[in-house]
Amino acid sequence: MVNPAKSTVKRWNRPAVCTAFCVALLTAACTGPGPAPSPTQSATTAGRYPWHTGIVSTTFWVGEIFDPKAADGSQVMSTYDSQWMQSYGGCDGVVKNGCQTEARAQAKGYAPTSMTPKENPFYLDLPFDDINDPIAFAERASVIPWANDPGFAGNAQNRSFSYMKNQWVRIRMGNRECYGQIEDAGPGQYHDKDYVFGSNDARPANKNFNGAGMDVSPALNGCLGFSELDGESDKVDWQFVPRDQVPAGPWLNIVTVSQVK
């Protein structure tokens, strides 16, 4: 069920949703590419990425529209991709009275049942928008740990390049561990460097959605065994992880490599 509280918080610089555009995109779906390489950090850098524990996570999905009147009221676009739904291949769920989420099954690799994604269905957001938020953009080269690594260095002023988009995150809940790529920013905050990059397990600055510090996709919701399809009670532990330390799993069936659009 759509969480109406989400509409109370604005994301940065998102255009208003066009109803006709959304309807057209809801019908889009096509076969996605196989795994592809992405910028990586050396395995020796893993120690730079501390664990963040007991973090409330909500669920969001490509094509979700929870407030069509709000500039940030849909997931037809993301902070890094103005045509996210088109890039993804359509509604990441079921087209019924809009785009609704659905339960995901391990037997099907937690993939959506009604379409084949063109990008990784294991996606998430964290509250640091290094493209559109002016504070985050100004600080990104100094606070993001991998900003000076090969494949990333030299892009501090490049607004077509995000240090955050496509980065890998290890997520644990109970005895389950799954992996996903960052494809949006939020919830609620967009330059929360102390929480996102800090080493002292700081709490998220966001006070909305039960203080959530992460949104995860339906695939990650199912993989981690969340108690609800679209709730605010599940808590996870998470850690950035270099690409070369991501183990085999359904999260590698399709790897997103596109940059800012």
pLDDT in tens, 33-85: 333 344 444 444 556 799 999 999 999 999 998 666 655 557 889 999 999 99
Question: Is residue 30 scored above 80 in pLDDT?
Answer: no
Tell me the three-class secondary structure of 87-153, residue by residue. HHCCCCCEECCCEECCCCCHHHCCCCCCCCCCCCCCEEEECECCCCCHHHHHHHHHHCCCCCCCCCC
Q: Token pair 């009275």 is at which residue?
A: 97
Question: Is residue 22 scored above 60 in pLDDT?
Answer: no
Question: Is residue 19 scored above 50 in pLDDT?
Answer: no
Q: What is the pLDDT of residue 94?
A: 95
Question: Is residue 2 scored above 70 in pLDDT?
Answer: no
Q: What is the pLDDT of residue 28?
A: 42
Phi-psi region of 151 (alpha: psi -120 to 50; beta: other; left: phi over 0): left
Dihedral pair phi/psi, residue 50, rounded to 5°: -75, 165
pLDDT in tens, 137-163: 999 999 999 999 999 999 999 999 999
Non-local CB neighbours of 158 within 8 Å, separated by 6+ positions: none
Question: Is residue 133 scored above 50 in pLDDT?
Answer: yes
Q: What is the pLDDT of residue 45?
A: 52
Q: How confident is the model at residue 21 (pLDDT cuts 50, 70, 90)?
A: very low
CA distances from residue 208 to 78, 136, 232 in whole angstroms, order as listed = 19, 20, 10
The predicted model scores a pTM of 0.84
Q: What is the pLDDT of residue 9?
A: 42
CB 121 within 8 A of CB 254: yes
Q: What is the pLDDT of residue 74?
A: 74
Q: What is the pLDDT of residue 75?
A: 86
Please, what is the Cα angle at 251 between 23 and 32, to 5 degrees?
A: 45
Mean pLDDT across 5-23: 40
Q: What is the pLDDT of residue 65?
A: 81
Q: Is 219 helix (H, G, I), strand (E, B) or coil?
A: helix
Question: Is residue 27 scored above 60 in pLDDT?
Answer: no
Q: What is the pLDDT of residue 70?
A: 57
d(CA 247, CA 225): 19
Q: What is the pLDDT of residue 76?
A: 87
The percent of residues above 70 in pLDDT, for the chain, comes to 79
Q: How confident is the model at residue 237 (pLDDT cuts 50, 70, 90)?
A: very high
